[in-house]
Amino acid sequence: MTVKHVRELDRVVIRFAGDSGDGMQLTGDRFTAETASFGNDLSTLPNFPAEIRAPAGTLPGVSSFQLHFANYDILTPGDAPDVLVAMNPAALKANLPDVPKGATIIVDTGDFTPRALKKIGWTTNPLEDNTLSAYKVHALDLSGITMQALAPFELSRKDASRSKNMFALGLLSWMYGRSIDGTVTFLREKFATRETIRDANIAALKAGWNYGETTEDFAVSYQVKPAAMPAGTYRNITGNLALSYGLIAAARQSGLPLFLGSYPITPASDILHELSKHKRFGVRTFQAEDEVAAIGAALGASFGGALGVTTTSGPGVALKGETVGLAVSLELPLVIVDVQRGGPSTGLPTKTEQADLLQVLYGRNGESPVPVVAASSPSDCFHAAIEAVRIAVTYRTPVFLLSDGYLANGSEPWHVPDVESLPTIRPDFATELNHDGEGERDFWPYLRDPETLARPWAVPGTPGLEHRIGGIEKLDGPGTISYDPNNHDRMVRLRQAKVDGIAGVGELEVEDPSGAARLLVLGWGSTYGPIGAAVRRARKAGHHVAQAHLRHLNPMPANTGDVLRSYDRVLVPEMNLGQLALLLRGKYLVDVVGYNQVRGLPFKAEELADVIMEEVGAL
């Protein structure tokens, strides 16, 4: 038996790539689960086509899953893979430009036929020419070895080769010292009713592990020790799952039944799927006939005293706009979740972008102020959801909660909170007459709380508080129809003042360890990780850089202007063409500088660090 060496590493980025049908997302998910329970910090980036099964073996059909794991706290899924696992020629060709020289490539040679190569425009075999000479290449017939390993199962060729992803997972698990026990349990549950498939997959997984252990092709395995994390219970979680849990938790903390109205749309659908599983928490999910009905039903449920929520992506927000305006006018709690994706129109359904900021702020008729909360990491979606609900319920207003494709599908370890520590949200339903009318007490549905400017939420079933509300302008106080010019002016300003005055937004906190920074890097949403990683790099290189991140986009923290003005230069990286920058310039008259990419992918820390260091250098 070969002597095997174990080499220790701080961090590794692995990318699994294959055909859409090769099971790369599952492979990545399982490797992530094993890595999470091993105790590494990690961050993931799934990347898949919008087509369910694009033609096999083609470049558009390539699906990938990137995982960054380390023995310290990391912020991004990594700029470039240290290891690429390519399950076919198309996966190799599509991902090769991202792989730095010297990196490791494990490639399944099973499908490197002249026909397959021709399909993707390769006239010679890259395994035989100099294409891969700069890489450490392990060229293995994964398909063939898997089929040999599964010979006793007498599966069809097609079924046997389907397990090659488990073989690859086993091999990589050996290479990085991950246990495969969790995956064995997972496969037992997943294929509980299909014994042969179950056993074949487990056999392929183990064969992959053993292949690494015994073959001379792999002389070295690697160790990435667990990361130091604060004491507590952890789990790995994606943004969509964390957001779903946040909504359930907020419903529980407010004592309101959760009602989700939703229409399937990528990348938000998983929230609908997830919430539909939790009926025993009193969660009602309604798959509507369209986006408009989805938000309409949620608003109707809110009128009835539920926590009305609708989940969608940018195109859905466009359709819901009129109903959001109605909710602004009705002044009822409502949470609209926008999991942003590349636009305009259908755009890039499975890719990330943060170009809906101006749409959610201003994409309605009339003066229609809506609070906006943005999550900054997959696990932060949990807390951002609770915050969105807090504002919606306390201030009787629709609230936009922004996530994006990167947060939705990406994952990271999450320090699971103690539910006792979660904030309480108080609906404070109106139950009493609230106004001295002519000779008798009556109920004014638009008599505002002097502190919050919120109106009373009186739900049907409350005797004596019968009232009518609608989209027509209402008289300040009584809430009856009013076309009076001065009243409209007053109501427009009141609705604005209510949103502007939302409490609990907090100060914009700046992280500037040296205290000597003249450059501030300000971001919002999912760029938190890449900006943080880039700022770290710049600091490591000896530069003084301050970082701040906006969670509340409307209203912004009260000190935002002061913070911006206290730096010589403010850099605002965004995955759009400068939407926050436009707001900051307009609102605070500060000449912020944008750094903008709309490539459907998160920023790379290295690129961003270069930009930051350039900006520092120019000061």
Partner 1 sequence: MTAPVELGRPGLAGVPTTDVKQTKKDFTSDQEVRWCPGCGDYAVLAAVQGFLPDLGLARENIVFVSGIGCSSRFPYYMDTYGIHSIHGRAPAIATGLAASRPDLSVWVITGDGDALSIGGNHLIHALRRNVNLTILLFNNRIYGLTKGQYSPTSEQGKVTKSTPMGSLEAPFNPVSLALGAEATFVARTIDSDRKHLTSVLSAAAAHRGTSLVEIYQNCNIFNDGAFEILKDRESGDEVLIRLTHGEPVRFGADAQLGVRRNPSTGSLEVCASDDPGVIVHDAAADDPTQAFALSRLADPGTLARSPIGIFRQVERPAYGDLMAEQLDEATAKQGEGDLQALLHGKDSWTVG
Question: CA triplet 291, 295, 297: central angle to 5 degrees?
Answer: 115
- Cis check: omega of the bond before 267, within 30 degrees of 0: yes
C-beta closer to partner 1: residue 103 or 469: 469
Which of 69, 59, 67, 132 shows the shortest CA–CA distance to 89?
59
3-state secondary structure of 481: strand
Distances (CA, A) of 442 to 458, 461, 472: 13, 17, 22
Residue the block writes with tokens 């819901």: 320
Q: 341 or 383, CB closer to partner 1?
A: 383
Which stretches of the chain bind partner 1, using CB under 8 A? Answer: 33, 36-37, 39, 182, 229-236, 245, 248-249, 252, 257, 259, 261, 278-284, 286, 288-290, 292-294, 296-306, 308, 322-323, 325-326, 330, 416-419, 460-472, 480-481
* Residue placing its CB nearer to partner 1 in the complex, 293 or 521: 293
CB of 484 to partner 1, least distance (A): 15
Of 97 and 230, the one with the shorter C-beta distance to partner 1 is: 230
By beta-carbon proximity to partner 1, the closer residue of 32 and 547 is: 32
Work out how close the CB of 378 gets to partner 1 at its nearest, in angstroms, rounded to a whole number.
14
Structure tokens belonging to residue 159: 């079924």
Q: Minimum CB separation from partner 1 for residue 387, in Å? A: 17
Q: Smallest distance from the beta carbon of 163 to partner 1, in angstroms?
A: 23
Query: What distance, in Å, lies between the first and last C-alpha atoms of the chain?
Result: 60
d(CA 402, CA 507): 20
Q: What's the min distance (Å) between Cβ of 156 and partner 1?
A: 32
Identify whether the C-beta of residue 455 lies closer than 8 Å to the C-beta of residue 428: no
* 459 vs 510 by CB, closer to partner 1: 459
- Smaller CB separation from partner 1, 236 or 547: 236
95, HSE (Cβ side, Cα atoms, 13 Å): 34
Task: Tell me how far, at minimum, the Cβ of 416 lies from partner 1, in Å.
Answer: 5
Cα 320 from Cα 330, distance rounded (Å): 15
Tokens, residue 54: 């694009």
Strand 104-108 with 83-86, pairing: parallel
What minimum distance in Å lies between the beta carbon of 616 and partner 1? Answer: 36
User: In the complex with partner 1, which residue's Cβ is closer, 36 or 348?
Assistant: 36
Amino acid found at 149 = A
Q: How far is the CB of 192 from partner 1 (least distance, A)?
A: 15
Could you count the other beta carbons within 10 Å of the beta carbon of residue 175?
21
Is residue 313 exposed (0-12), middle (13-18) or buried (19+ Cβ within 10 Å)?
Answer: buried
What's the Rg (C-alpha) of the chain?
A: 27
